[in-house]
Amino acid sequence: MDVAIPIFEGITALDAIGPYEVLSRLDGARVHFLATEPGPKRTENGMLALAADGALADFPNPEVIVVPGGFGTRALMKDEGVLAWVRAAHQTSQWTTSVCTGALVLGAAGILTGLEATTHWLLLDKLGELGAIPVSRRVVEQGKIITAAGVSSGIDMALTLAAGIAGEDMARAIQLAIEYDPEPPFDSGSPSKASPGVLELARERS
């Protein structure tokens, strides 16, 4: 099973690495980090680079697509080469997924039209402009399309996907293997829980 994760300049690292940690543990999974051109792609703040070992053109028919997010998705939304690859790969994929603003790339490719989808809470309105029906849920399943909200929710999406591929027991075993048992020190992980001051601070820094 080939899993294609497109990466790009301005990516949010956890959007890609969270799903990788889950999906790479499935039997027979081969996870490929791909880009228009192979090579290192730096994160939004420039502090970390992820390496694309292959080109998108080398993997036209992956079974699973995971489109991560980050500020760099704004450029991808206008990149006809990337959008064409997403459209074509989606035609034959078993699962097409996104994390955070990766959903905007799916939307720009026309894949989410008329479907419920989610993304980072700051950009839910943008999903609507792209033809989707934006919803404030951590993971949204619409047939073979699964979208996840912001950053850390990519792990939840990948576990949901793992259950769809290999069954709930395997997904639970992977969850245990990576010890994904969140007990955050603060209950401030969504706009509905954050105080007005924290919400404003998050807006200023995003």
| Nearest alpha carbon to residue 46 among 8, 15, 9 | 9
Note the pLDDT tens digit of each residue in 50-100: 999 999 999 999 999 999 999 999 999 999 999 999 999 999 999 999 999
Q: What is the reported pLDDT for 5?
A: 98
Identify the CATH number of the domain defined by range 2-181: 3.40.50.880
Looking at the annotation, which residues are catalytic? Answer: 100
Note the pLDDT tens digit of each residue in 116-169: 999 999 999 999 999 999 999 999 999 999 999 999 999 999 999 999 999 999
Give the mean pLDDT of 158-181.
98
The CA-CA-CA angle for residues 126, 127, 130, to 5°, reads 90
| Model pTM score | 0.96
Q: What is the reported pLDDT for 206?
A: 84
